[in-house]
Amino acid sequence: MNKQIIYPGTFDPITNGHIDIIERALLLFDRVIIAVAADSKKNARKFDSNTRISLIREVFIDNPNVKVQEISGLLVDFAKSVGVNIILRGLRAVSDFEYEFQLANMNKHLAPQIETLFLTASEKYTYISASMVKEVAALGGDISALVPKAVAKALTLSNYCP
């Protein structure tokens, strides 16, 4: 059986914490489908969806078991459309739990057949969030240990031409 899981998120931008979750999921599943949230008027993003997707594709260029797709509608509708009924999310700290629990239960309400599976962040990545990385980069801090090279380059460039 081809076991697949969907990892949804904004990935603005992808960090080493996300990558760790994806690599660990690949030990349990045959394929990880990364579902990247489309651009939204309500939530401003640092990078548009094309850039967020390209950066993820660049990271996993050699791994045919990672697929990247943009989603604009409900996650459960996307899951149904690709025939996958497991959603992956990461938990870094207790502070993530409340939101993640609410999200998982809302998705369960909308589509009872879909399960959410959580992987806890590896200890060395618990403090990494995309928003914190953006802030450190904007202030000129060293982000080389927090994100892949392509992302570090994109963040540096975007800080010169915001």
Q: Where along the sequence are the contacts to ligand ADP (CB under 6 A)?
A: 9-11, 15, 17-18, 21, 89-90, 92, 96, 121, 125, 128-130
Residue of 121, 119, 89, 120 lying closest to 106 (CA atoms): 89
Sheet with strand 31-37: strands edge to edge? 66-71, 31-37, 4-9, 86-91, 115-120
Residue 70 CB neighbour total at 10 angstroms: 15
> Is the Cβ of residue 55 or residue 121 nearer to ligand ADP in the bound state?
121
The distance of closest approach from Cβ of residue 14 to ligand ADP in the complex, given in angstroms and rounded to an integer, is 8
Query: To 5 degrees, how large is the angle CA 136–CA 141–CA 95?
Result: 30
**Which one, 104 or 161, has the nearer CB to ligand ADP?**
104
Specify the residue, 20 or 65, whose C-beta has the smaller distance to ligand ADP: 20
CB of 91 to ligand ADP, least distance (A): 6
Identify each DSSP E strand in the chain by its residue range: 4-9, 31-37, 66-71, 86-91, 115-120
Closer residue to ligand ADP, CB minimum distance, 97 or 160 = 97
Position of minimal CB gap to ligand ADP: 17
Q: Considering the complex, what minimum distance in angstroms separates the CB of residue 120 from ligand ADP?
A: 8
